[in-house]
């Protein structure tokens, strides 16, 4: 089934840190806006709060913001922080945007997709795994173990 428009494309974002899990469902446009807001930092916006995309420093700060969101159990905040890391990590740029392309292909085919981000309970950078899958993919079909390299991405 071909998606009719970007406003109808839905992404289920799931983040698992150790054994804790958070999920949120956003349209593609809402996710893109949320990632942009996250990148620019909290209001009032100051230049020093902006995350540098595709940089190690940006990913480190995003990881800290992700952990802060876990303290308040803010599922949307956690999912947006992890999605920023998936789309703006250095590996995404260096490897020709694998998660972005895979998610785009899934959305254009089905109009819906899952973005699954897995890391250890401390959200250490080398433990992150980023996966894009069709929306109906069961957890049992995914690899939900943290990685040892930040550049890892898969599609199911």
Determine the average pLDDT of the residues in 116-144: 90
Q: First CA to last CA across the chain, in angstroms? A: 18
Query: Is the model's pLDDT at 80 over the cut of 60?
Result: yes
pLDDT digits (tens, 9 = 90+) for 42-75: 776 666 777 888 888 889 999 999 999 999 999 9
Query: Is the model's pLDDT at 2 over the cut of 90?
Result: no
Position 148 scores a pLDDT of 62
Q: Residue 118's pLDDT band (boundaries 50, 70, 90)?
A: very high
Query: Is the model's pLDDT at 135 over the cut of 80?
Result: yes
* Token code pair at residue 52: 């540098």
Determine the average pLDDT of the residues in 19-32: 93
Q: Residue 4's pLDDT band (boundaries 50, 70, 90)?
A: very low
The model's pTM is: 0.83
DSSP letters of 5-61?
A: -GGG-EEEEEEEETTEEEEEEEEHHHHHHHHHHHHH-SSSP-GGG---TTSHHHHHH
Position 1 scores a pLDDT of 45
* Token code pair at residue 156: 């199911």
* Token code pair at residue 4: 């009719």
Position 156 scores a pLDDT of 46
* Closest CA relative to residue 74, chosen from 23, 12, 19: 23
């Amino acid at each position: 089934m071909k998606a009719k428009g970007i406003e109808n494309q839905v992404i289920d974002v799931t983040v698992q840190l150790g054994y804790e899990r958070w999920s949120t469902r956003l349209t593609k446009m809402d996710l893109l806006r949320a990632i942009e807001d996250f990148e620019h930092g909290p209001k009032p916006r100051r230049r020093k709060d902006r995350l540098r995309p595709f940089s190690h420093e940006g990913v480190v700060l995003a990881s800290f913001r992700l952990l802060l969101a876990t303290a308040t159990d803010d599922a949307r905040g956690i999912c947006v922080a992890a999605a920023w890391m998936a789309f703006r990590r250095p590996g995404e740029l260096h490897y020709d945007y694998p998660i972005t392309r895979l998610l785009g292909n899934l959305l254009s085919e089905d109009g819906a997709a899952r973005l699954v981000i897995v890391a250890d309970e401390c959200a250490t950078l080398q433990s992150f795994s980023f996966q894009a899958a069709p929306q109906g993919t069961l957890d049992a079909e995914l690899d939900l173990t943290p990685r040892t390299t930040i550049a890892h991405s898969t599609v199911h």
